[in-house]
Amino acid sequence: MTEKIVKDYLLAIGEKPEREGLKDTPRRVVKSWNELYSGYSRTPADILTTFSADGYDQIVLLKDIEMFSMCEHHMLPFFGKAHVAYIPGDKIIGISKLARLVDIFSRRLQIQERIGEQVTSALMTYLQPKGAACIIEAAHMCMRMRGVGKQESTMVTSSLKGVFMEKQAAREELMALINKR
């Protein structure tokens, strides 16, 4: 990312990049982009160290994972929470890795549906669990700031794999755990 891109953007919207309040903006924007889009430089293999499940075969759930991303259609933010679960086969991972996995995929230009699918696909590939799930609830600024202007709308998506898709009882238990406060 170059600061020239940001200066050109400022010019395109009618601003003056040399005015006092904007002098350092190109540098700050490039720095923020490096953080916002850091998911492009990481892969699940970078973080998913596995351990023996030692016979544990029940749902592992990390819920209310704060997440944000940038809509690939309008380059506006969307944010909310993700609930990520799996039922171990022979392997487990540290619980923080579920949050890091969400970050890897959400810190890219994205659509919400794809994030959930990428999270569950990575879990199925690296852990080979009996099932994996990712439910995301998010508010989209492209819905709130422009276009239809619906201020209280929340989009909910799910990606279910293995037993969470195949067995209603597993799906119901997962949803009960997510909704339990």
Please identify every residue annotated as catalytic.
71-74, 112, 140, 142
Which is nearest to 123 in space by CA: 151, 91, 145? 91
Query: Strand runs (DSSP E) across the chain, as ranges?
Result: 50-52, 60-71, 77-87, 91-93, 109-110, 131-140, 155-162
| Distance, CA of 150 to CA of 20 (rounded, Å) | 35
Pairing of strands 77-87, 131-140: antiparallel
* Residues recorded for the chain: 181
User: Mapping DSSP to helix (H, G, I), strand (E, B) and coil, where does residue 162 land?
Assistant: strand
User: Mapping DSSP to helix (H, G, I), strand (E, B) and coil, where does residue 177 land?
Assistant: helix
| Distance, CA of 68 to CA of 76 (rounded, Å) | 10
Q: How many Cβ atoms from other residues are within 10 Å of residue 134's Cβ?
A: 29
